[in-house]
Amino acid sequence: MFLNTQKLRRKLCPFSFEAGSEETVMLTSTFCHIPTIGEKTERKIWENGITSWEDALIQVPSTQSLSPSLQYLLTSFILRSFRFLEREEVSFFAHHLPDREWWRIFPEFRHRTVFLDIETTGLTPPHDHITTITLFDGQRIKTFVHGINLHEFPQEVMHYKVIVTFSGKCFDIPFIERTMGLKLPQIHIDLRYLMRSLGWRGGLKACEKALGIDRGELKGVDGYGAVLLWQKYKEGCPEALETLLAYNIADTVNLEKLLVFAYNQKIARLPLSLPPLPKPPPSVPSPYQTHPEIIREIFYERIRLLSRKGDFYE
Distance CA 278, CA 173 (A): 28
Instruction: Supply φ then ψ for residue 12, to 5 degrees.
Output: -100, -15
Q: What is the pLDDT of residue 10?
A: 42
Q: What is the pLDDT of residue 264?
A: 97
**Cβ atoms 102, 187 nearer than 8 A:** yes
Q: What is the pLDDT of residue 23?
A: 59
Global confidence as pTM: 0.89
In tens, the pLDDT along 76-132 reads 999 999 999 999 999 999 999 999 999 999 999 999 999 999 999 999 988 999 999
Distance CA 229, CA 221 (A): 10
Q: What is the pLDDT of residue 146?
A: 98
Distance CA 35, CA 109 (A): 22
Residues of the chain with pLDDT under 70: 1-23, 61-64, 309-314
In tens, the pLDDT along 44-75 reads 889 988 999 999 888 876 666 778 888 888 88
Q: What is the pLDDT of residue 302?
A: 87
The backbone region for 123, taken as left when phi is positive above 0, alpha when psi lies in -120 to 50, beta otherwise, is alpha
Angle (CA) 61-62-63 rounded to 5° is 100
Going by C-alpha positions, the residue among 192, 174, 191 that lies closest to residue 183 is 174
The burial of 138, by beta-carbon neighbours within 10 Å (0-12 exposed, 13-18 middle, 19 or more buried), is given as middle
Annotate 265-312 with three-state secondary structure: HHHHCCCCCCCCCCCCCCCCCCCCCCCHHHHHHHHHHHHHHHHHHCCC
Domains of the chain: 5-87 (no CATH), 115-213+242-288 (3.30.420)
**Cβ atoms 89, 137 nearer than 8 A:** no
Strands (E), the chain: 113-120, 130-136, 141-145, 162-165, 187-190
Q: Is 257 helix (H, G, I), strand (E, B) or coil?
A: helix
**Cβ atoms 141, 245 nearer than 8 A:** no
